């Protein structure tokens, strides 16, 4: 399906809103000049438009299949992946020491969004590999890094993560996969894992699985879990794929969407694996990959929102229906008030989610470049918001895209429904959005709210500065931020964690609303208070930001009324 890479938007945000210049001012990322970043975005955008976007429908109509134990991917995916690997798009942020570009995560985030908007089911493959690269860079032995990282970074090999088991979904601590020590320092991994994205393919030389498993006599729960690297083919003495390991794809899931992405049930029967990190420290090591993926999955939602927006906009610009109320309008359904509302909502939400994700990535880059705890705390605080709001934006914008199409949106041939089906799982995997919200209201406030208050202070200072030129936009942003501060103080004061969790989802959504308004205000200011971004900011702040009032009322209601209804009341 046609797709236009939003390079102009990324350049504007990097220059005026999330300030990539602060990242470039550090020694670590000094090479990421504006000219270099623009060139990279242009080249990646061209690849997305010309190579990946034409594969979007192929993946949906011709799903990956398991034939005689071999995964056969959708037509054209091999060439699409080759373009990704040869362009270096797998390893933008990987270390230069092992063949990566060593560029900021913010640049990776922009490129990942474009790939997601063009062909989400294929983009999921390099996203998994990116997370594995970061995990190995931070936790693997020198020998493992020397063997695996160059191949993963080049895209010759791909990576996966194996957490989930049939009896252990979000409760990872209930997993049963075993790891028995071998005489040669490796381990024999035995067990079954489900929901393994891109568990196999027919276009990379090797597939490397990061697998959570239990050592003999390990303690119950997450504290007794270790992490192992288990390749499809065991590297020989030269680092090339050698003997086939004792693992296999049992089946591929039949899914609502993302048909081009093979989601595997993986069986390990004494497969040879190597310990990553220390014994019983697997969850901490895996969280390096999971946090990388949570940012990436949020961006998948945003990319899909952009694709759905473009698809709906193209239809609305062409479709005539009824008498339009504007004499000098387009003469199409774009001129009807409710269609205009839907399209503007789609555009405003996508812009807000994109800015939040890039701000998150910039905080990660600043933490890596400076080692400062405040930047690390900000990155950690923004991660669950990026993941949850980004994926909800993908789902909501895709749903609106179907509505813009009217009856044709429900007809598969138009392609509008594919965006909704493909993106729906992003709100579930890498930790459901409910888990993200509980993380925000729980773990991320364990500092007494310090990271949250620092971010609120910054938003309020900016709003105060904007009052002189944009008072009608700055004032509601300041007021909403103050309301959010009061709700955050309430959350911090709650000793009963269930009271926090009962309102955690609306609490996260209120944070996203205020952050989105802040970034829209930044864009309007940078534009001088006149122009398309100012008009979009006015729509968001006047029409969408007020939702925070209801969200905060829900967030601070506690849990008593939830549990006043008994299970019998609910099922009666």
The catalytic residue positions are: 430
What percent of the residues of the chain are helix, what percent strand, and what percent coil, each to the nearest 5? 60, 10, 25
530 CB burial (10 A radius; 0-12, 13-18, 19+): exposed
**Residues 111, 44: contact at Cβ < 8 Å?**
yes
Q: List C-alpha distances in Å: 218 to 74, 170, 175, 177, 223.
A: 41, 20, 12, 12, 8
Is the CA virtual torsion 556, 560, 561, 567 positive or negative? positive
**Residues 403, 368: contact at Cβ < 8 Å?**
no
Selection from 228, 215, 229, 230 nearest residue 280 by Cα: 215
Selection from 401, 406, 531, 533 nearest residue 1 by Cα: 401
Alpha-helical runs (H) found in 467-531: 471-493, 497-502, 504-526
Q: What are 276's strand-pairing partners?
A: 227
568 CB burial (10 A radius; 0-12, 13-18, 19+): exposed
User: CB-side exposure of 101: number of CA atoms within 13 Å?
Assistant: 22
CB-CB neighbours of 440 under 10 Å: 26
**Residues 348, 536: contact at Cβ < 8 Å?**
yes
Kindly state the DSSP code that residue 541 receives in the 8-state scheme.
I
Is the CA virtual torsion 194, 197, 201, 205 positive or negative? negative
């Amino acid at each position: 399906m046609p797709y236009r890479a939003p390079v102009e938007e990324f350049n504007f945000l990097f220059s005026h809103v999330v300030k990539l210049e602060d990242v470039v001012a550090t020694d670590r990322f000094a090479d990421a000049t504006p000219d270099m970043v623009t060139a990279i975005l242009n080249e990646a955008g061209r690849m997305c438009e010309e190579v990946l976007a034409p594969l979007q429908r192929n993946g949906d109509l011709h799903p990956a299949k398991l034939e005689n134990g071999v995964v056969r991917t959708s037509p054209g995916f091999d060439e699409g992946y080759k373009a990704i690997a040869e362009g270096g798009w797998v390893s933008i942020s990987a270390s230069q020491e092992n063949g990566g570009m060593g560029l900021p995560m913010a640049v990776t985030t922009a490129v990942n969004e474009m790939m997601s908007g063009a062909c989400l089911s294929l983009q999921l493959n390099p996203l998994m590999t990116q997370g594995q690269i970061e995990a190995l860079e931070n936790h693997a032995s020198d020998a493992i890094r020397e063997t695996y990282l160059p191949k993963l970074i080049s895209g010759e090999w791909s990576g996966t993560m194996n957490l989930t088991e049939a009896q252990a979904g979000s409760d990872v601590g209930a997993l049963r996969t075993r790891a028995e020590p071998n005489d040669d320092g490796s381990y024999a991994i035995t067990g079954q894992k489900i929901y393994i994205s891109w568990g196999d393919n027919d276009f990379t030389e090797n597939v490397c699985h990061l697998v959570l498993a239990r050592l003999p006599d390990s303690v119950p729960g997450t504290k007794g879990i270790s992490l192992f690297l288990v390749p499809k083919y065991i590297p020989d003495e030269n680092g090339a794929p050698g003997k086939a390991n004792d693992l296999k794809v049992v089946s591929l899931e039949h899914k609502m969407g993302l048909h081009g992405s093979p989601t595997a049930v993986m069986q390990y029967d004494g497969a040879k694996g190597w310990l990553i990190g220390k014994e019983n420290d697997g969850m901490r090591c895996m969280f390096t990959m999971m946090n990388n993926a949570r940012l990436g999955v949020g961006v998948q939602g945003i990319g899909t929102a952009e694709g759905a927006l473009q698809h709906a906009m193209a239809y609305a610009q062409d479709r005539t229906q009824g008498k339009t109320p504007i004499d000098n309008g387009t003469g199409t359904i774009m001129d009807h008030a409710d269609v205009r509302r839907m399209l503007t909502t789609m555009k405003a939400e996508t812009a807000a989610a994109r800015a939040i994700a890039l701000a998150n990535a910039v905080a990660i880059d600043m933490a890596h470049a400076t080692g400062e705890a405040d930047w690390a705390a900000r990155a950690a605080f923004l991660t669950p918001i990026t993941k949850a709001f980004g994926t909800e934006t993908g789902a909501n914008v895709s749903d609106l895209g179907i509505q813009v199409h009217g009856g044709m949106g429900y007809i598969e041939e138009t392609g509008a429904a594919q965006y909704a089906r493909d993106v729906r799982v992003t709100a579930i995997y890498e930790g459901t959005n409910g888990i993200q919200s509980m993380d925000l209201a729980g773990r991320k406030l364990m500092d007494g709210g310090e990271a949250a208050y620092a971010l609120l202070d910054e938003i309020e200072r900016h709003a105060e500065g904007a009052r002189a030129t944009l008072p009608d936009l700055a004032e509601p942003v300041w007021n909403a931020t103050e309301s959010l501060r009061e709700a955050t103080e309430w959350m911090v004061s709650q000793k009963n964690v269930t009271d926090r969790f009962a309102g955690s989802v609306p609490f996260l959504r209120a944070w996203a609303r205020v952050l989105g308004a802040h970034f829209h205000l930044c864009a309007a200011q940078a534009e001088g208070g006149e122009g398309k971004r100012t008009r979009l900011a006015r729509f968001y702040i006047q029409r969408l930001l007020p939702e925070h009032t209801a969200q905060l009322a829900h967030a601070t209601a506690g849990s008593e009324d939830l549990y006043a209804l008994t299970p019998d009341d609910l099922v009666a």
